[in-house]
Amino acid sequence: MAIRQIRIIGDEILSKECKPVREMNGRTRELIADMFDTMYDGNGCGLAAPQVGIRKQIVVMDIDDGNRYVMINPTVLKQSGTQTGPEGCLSVPGKNGEVTRANYVKVKALNENMEEYTLEGEGLLARCILHECDHLEGKLYVEKVEGELYDVEPEEE
């Protein structure tokens, strides 16, 4: 597949709400595959469609738990508990910040076959789900940072 250009903070599309996906087609399947490639290329654990310039409610995630997640038109059903920790974003390169989010989340979404499912997550998975769902509403994590953003050392390859 292809690696797409990641939109960076300040790009207008990152502040816009995304539209629901109505049907699965070849272009949407290609977008999902490209989103995974782009996320892996950037060493991310999640990526939302607006981050590659597409205003659709599509999220891909891989938090190294043995699963690859696709969420289309996700809706948060339940949140509980809290966790505070460092958060970063491929659209805010080189920066991290401390963010408090729910420690548990339950979402309803469609998979890549447009079949409805629910996903429950705790810890990092909950953080990733909520972070990516924020993107679909035109919100970046920097709006939730407690204190200041700080520089992140680039990973050596």
- Write the pLDDT tens digit of every residue in 129-144: 999 999 999 999 999 9
Could you tell me if 18 and 57 are in contact, meaning their C-beta atoms sit under 8 angstroms apart? yes
Q: Is a pLDDT exceeding 90 seen at residue 65?
A: yes
Residue 97, strand partner residues: 87
Q: Is a pLDDT exceeding 80 seen at residue 68?
A: yes
Structural class in CATH, domain 12-151: alpha beta
Mean pLDDT throughout 82-107? Answer: 97
Residue 59, strand partner residues: 48, 71
Residue 97 structure tokens: 């910040």
User: Residue 132 catalytic?
Assistant: yes
Closest CA to 154 of 30, 43, 25, 40: 43
pTM for this predicted structure: 0.95
Which one from 112, 132, 137, 156 is the annotated catalytic residue? 132
d(CA 107, CA 90): 23
| Sign of torsion over alpha carbons 61, 13, 7, 148 | negative
Strand duo 83-88 + 69-80: pairing: unpaired
d(CA 39, CA 75): 22
Q: Is a pLDDT exceeding 50 seen at residue 157?
A: no
Would you state the pLDDT for residue 153?
Answer: 77
- Write the pLDDT tens digit of every residue in 29-50: 999 999 999 999 999 999 999 9
Domain ranges across the chain: 12-151
